[in-house]
């Protein structure tokens, strides 16, 4: 009886995993819509409006670096530069024993320090309309999706929480919750949902690139 009483809360909590994931998905896709679709759309609309353009030109007649390329390329340049900057602290975080659980095995783990340089090149090459920079950006995003999917779905959650110092008595629910949320199918939904707007933008901005001439 005592064992049944102890196990019943866990068993009762299990059906709620789908509800928890649904809430996470709703918040996740609302954030994606706001920051990857709505906000860029508003920024581009403001940038391309005739009234805004005439106001800028009347108040500042000097040609700035942002005037030398189309607005979508400037957006890609700034985004890639931000990716490069944000990758620098993550490189140091991945050196900790806690985060090493997410790194791929074999020689691929040594490619992690290259990420800031990859995105720095994408920023530099995008501003110069180099098609190679566009290709590198696509490959980097595909690699990021693969890494996120494999890292989260292949993580030993019990070992991960132990390294965080979680007491043994609390491990069961945390491990179960993590395994239920980060299943391969759900990770696929999360990754695809996050990347579709980005890949859509890359396809749209492709027309502004040209092959580099020697």
46 contact partners, CB below 8 Å, separation of at least 6: 52
Q: What is the DSSP letter of 97?
A: T
Q: Which domain holds residue 48?
A: 2-208
Residue 86 covered by a domain: yes
The count of domains in the chain is 1
Question: What residues are paired with 142 via a beta bridge?
Answer: none
pLDDT tens digit at each of 214 positions of the chain: 444 444 444 444 444 555 665 666 677 667 767 766 677 677 666 656 677 677 777 887 777 787 788 888 888 999 899 889 888 877 776 666 666 666 666 666 667 788 889 999 999 999 999 999 999 999 999 888 887 777 766 676 777 777 777 777 767 777 777 777 777 677 777 777 778 888 888 998 999 987 544 4
Contact 103, 91 (CB under 8 A): no
The reply to whether 213 falls in a domain is no
Examine residue 214 and state whether it is found in any structural domain, yes or no. Answer: no
* Dist CA 44 CA 175 (whole Å): 43
Structure tokens at 62: 């000097």
């Amino acid at each position: 009886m005592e064992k049944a009483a102890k196990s019943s809360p866990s068993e009762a909590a299990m059906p709620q995993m789908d509800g928890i994931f649904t809430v996470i998905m709703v918040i996740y896709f609302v954030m994606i819509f706001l920051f990857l679709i709505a906000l860029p759309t508003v920024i581009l609309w403001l940038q391309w409006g005739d009234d805004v353009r005439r106001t800028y030109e009347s108040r500042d007649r000097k040609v700035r670096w942002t005037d030398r390329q189309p607005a979508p390329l400037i957006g890609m340049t700034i985004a890639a530069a931000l990716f490069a900057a944000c990758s620098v602290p993550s490189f140091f975080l991945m050196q900790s024993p806690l985060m090493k659980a997410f790194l791929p095995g074999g020689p691929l783990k040594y490619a992690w320090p290259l990420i800031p340089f990859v995105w720095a090149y994408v920023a530099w090459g995008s501003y110069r309309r180099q098609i190679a920079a566009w290709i590198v950006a696509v490959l980097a995003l595909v690699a990021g999706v693969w890494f996120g999917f494999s890292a989260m779905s292949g993580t030993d959650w019990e070992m991960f929480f132990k390294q965080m110092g979680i007491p043994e008595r609390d491990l069961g629910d945390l491990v179960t919750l993590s395994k239920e949320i980060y299943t391969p199918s759900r990770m696929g939904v999360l990754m695809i949902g996050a990347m579709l707007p980005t890949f859509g933008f890359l396809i749209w901005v492709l027309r502004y690139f040209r092959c580099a001439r020697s």
